Chains A and B, each alone.
Chain A
Amino acid sequence: MQSESMQLCIQTRNLNLWYGQFQALKDVNIDVRHGLITSLIGPSGCGKTTLLRCFNRINERFSYVRTKGEIKVLGKNIYDPDVSLIELRKSVGMVFQRPNPVPISVYENIVFGLRIHNRFGVFQKNQLDEIVEKSLIEVGLWKDLKDRLKVKATSLQLEQQQKLCIARLLPLKPEVILMDEPCSALDVEGTRAIEDLMYNLRGHYTIVIVTHNMAQARRTSDECIFMLLGEKIEHDRTENLFLNPRDPRTAEYIEGRYG
């Protein structure tokens, strides 16, 4: 890897994960750098989603999941006993494959996080309005939705819903945004909109994106991680990984010999 001048945001050390008897992650060691967009690629079932869901410990909701190893987010091992899941998930937000806005109004979707993380009455109405406006501007929805803040979020177009799902993370000022195939339910236009949005968010947040779309990984990410059968095979700057893959398996995959 290149100079260590840039700070590391997520580090995993010998991360192993089992679903019951099945081992989904095998000794994964990765270093995700702060403020960059890192993409995770690999064939279906190689453990991309599983790895992503480790970063905010969502996997634990299944009782049969067992994890071993260390994950440091911003220097802190998130499996330490003094880590609060609530605070962790506030800092590490997630965007899912299918847009999943909460079935309440657009406005309430965005202030939902603030409401649950603050005592009642901390924010004035006008402060909330401001935050909603700022978040919607940041994801480029403000022009479309400023007159429709009261409509139900689930009635929006898919692309708008997905942007809203990103917007609702922003008021909490997360450090990391995890995206699991955020564009796979969207058309070309929607995909481009989300990619533009990611580009604008770059630098402010550390973004990890899982994608099946090799072109998307190339377009959007600074660094790229290739996984196979639960193992990290290669991690490099995106252009290096695509132009000069070091591992033959990576080369085969990006040339499309298996997928």
Chain B
Amino acid sequence: MADAIDPATRFAKTDFVIRKERIQAISKALFLIMVVIMIIPLLSIIAYLVYHAMPSLNWEFLIEAPKKGMSEGGIWPAFVGTLYLVVISLAIAAPIGVFAAIYLNEYAKENWFNRIIHLAVINLAGVPSIVHALFGLGAFVYAAQFGYSIISASLTLAIMTLPVIIASTREALASVPASFREACWNVGATRWQTIRAIVLPNSISGILTGIILQVSRAAGETAPIMFTGAVFYKAVARGELFPYYLNEQCMALSMHLYTISTQVPNVKESIPYATAVVLLCSVLVVNASAIALRVWLRNHKKW
């Protein structure tokens, strides 16, 4: 049977192979086109924003307070306000979310109660932010009597990001192979020792990614803070680092962008774009530092 074919033409492409390769090339091209289609709008958004923002993009714009009824000047109060809100909300949501996820994934037994919690978390993660806003208004502003304040707004943002942090952390934990855990248990490690020595080091980058994504979300949401603690305008000195008390209202970038784009007349044309660029860059800086942190953790993984 083997000598029936001339060795020189063995494994040569048949017509059908050529046809299959053509289909393969077409599908590959199709997917590549999708990548391009996805990238073009992204890049053009950034280019468009930066181009229009150019006249205002400088250091002064960042640390200067708004002037002339917010139609000129900078965005410092809004920038600091966003910083406050993001840091406080994540300081609340990240530990609670991560610890809860550890409990759910590592300790809780697989039963109906656990499944219901899982379902609830997944569903809460999909609730529109305006609903969280309303809840925050009722719970923190009125019921808990924090009033319209940074603390109310941060708590609302925390409530909003919590389910997503839990869900992404659980996913990161679940991606650590069960055999790693078994190896630990079989030398007599407790659950906590296993978590500390094996599970966390191997899932930390996934956990961090989940949290960082929520930074951008918390920084960008407008509705929840508009209902609970963000104001149009607050007088803040140029470059002042701690302008707000926690029981006060604050300005925020997303809200500020909305205000100057729709509510204030005669705003200098480049200011809204520059505000958007600052928002974008802050998110970028956070994401970049998260990547750096992950690389660093991976290289120093000996805890």
Interfacial residues, chain A to chain B (CB-CB below 8 A): 7, 9, 34, 73-76, 78, 82-84, 86-88, 91, 117-119, 175
Chain B at the A interface: SS class: helix
Q: Let me know if B16 and A118 touch, CB within 8 A.
A: yes
| Contacting residues, chain A, for B3 (C-beta < 8 A) | 7
In the complex, B8 has a CB within 8 A of chain A: yes
Interface contacts beyond A9-B2, A78-B11, A87-B11: sample of 9 additional A-B pairs, CB < 8 Å, sorted by A: A7-B2, A74-B5, A74-B10, A75-B8, A76-B11, A82-B12, A83-B11, A86-B17, A175-B2
In the complex, the chain B residue whose C-beta lies closest to that of A117 is B16
* Complex: A203 Cα to B254 Cα, angstroms: 75
| Contacting residues, chain A, for B20 (C-beta < 8 A) | 86
Partner of A87, one of B2, B7, B8, B17: B17
Q: Let me know if B17 and A76 touch, CB within 8 A.
A: no
* Complex: A9 Cα to B14 Cα, angstroms: 22
* Complex: A7 Cα to B14 Cα, angstroms: 25
* Complex: A83 Cα to B12 Cα, angstroms: 5
In the complex, B68 has a CB within 8 A of chain A: no
Interfacial residues, chain B to chain A (CB-CB below 8 A): 2-3, 5, 7-8, 10-14, 16-17, 20-21
Partner of A76, one of B7, B13, B16: B7
| Contacting residues, chain B, for A74 (C-beta < 8 A) | 2, 5, 7, 10
| Contacting residues, chain B, for A78 (C-beta < 8 A) | 11
| Contacting residues, chain B, for A117 (C-beta < 8 A) | 16
Give me 23 A-to-B residue pairs in the complex whose CB atoms sit less than 8 angstroms apart, sorted by A's number: A7-B3, A9-B2, A74-B2, A74-B5, A75-B7, A75-B8, A75-B10, A76-B7, A76-B10, A78-B11, A84-B17, A86-B17, A86-B20, A87-B12, A87-B13, A87-B14, A87-B17, A88-B11, A91-B10, A117-B16, A118-B16, A119-B16, A175-B2
Q: Let me know if A84 and B2 touch, CB within 8 A.
A: no
* Complex: A259 Cα to B87 Cα, angstroms: 58
Interface centre among B2, B3, B8, B11 (most CB of A within 10 A): B11
Q: Let me know if A84 and B12 touch, CB within 8 A.
A: yes
Distance of A215 from chain B, by nearest CB (Å): 29
Distance of B91 from chain A, by nearest CB (Å): 43
A84-B13 in contact given A74-B2, A175-B2 (Cβ < 8 Å): yes
Q: Let me know if A84 and B11 touch, CB within 8 A.
A: yes
Partner of A91, one of B8, B11, B13, B17: B11
* Complex: A222 Cα to B35 Cα, angstroms: 53
* Complex: A61 Cα to B10 Cα, angstroms: 22
* Complex: A78 Cα to B7 Cα, angstroms: 11
Distance of A8 from chain B, by nearest CB (Å): 10
* Complex: A88 Cα to B16 Cα, angstroms: 14
| Contacting residues, chain A, for B11 (C-beta < 8 A) | 73, 76, 78, 83-84, 87-88, 91
Distance of B277 from chain A, by nearest CB (Å): 38
Distance of A193 from chain B, by nearest CB (Å): 27
Q: Let me know if A34 and B17 touch, CB within 8 A.
A: no
* Complex: A90 Cα to B3 Cα, angstroms: 17
In the complex, the chain A residue whose C-beta lies closest to that of B13 is A84
* Complex: A145 Cα to B13 Cα, angstroms: 36
* Complex: A175 Cα to B20 Cα, angstroms: 22
* Complex: A4 Cα to B21 Cα, angstroms: 39
Distance of B105 from chain A, by nearest CB (Å): 25
Distance of B217 from chain A, by nearest CB (Å): 36
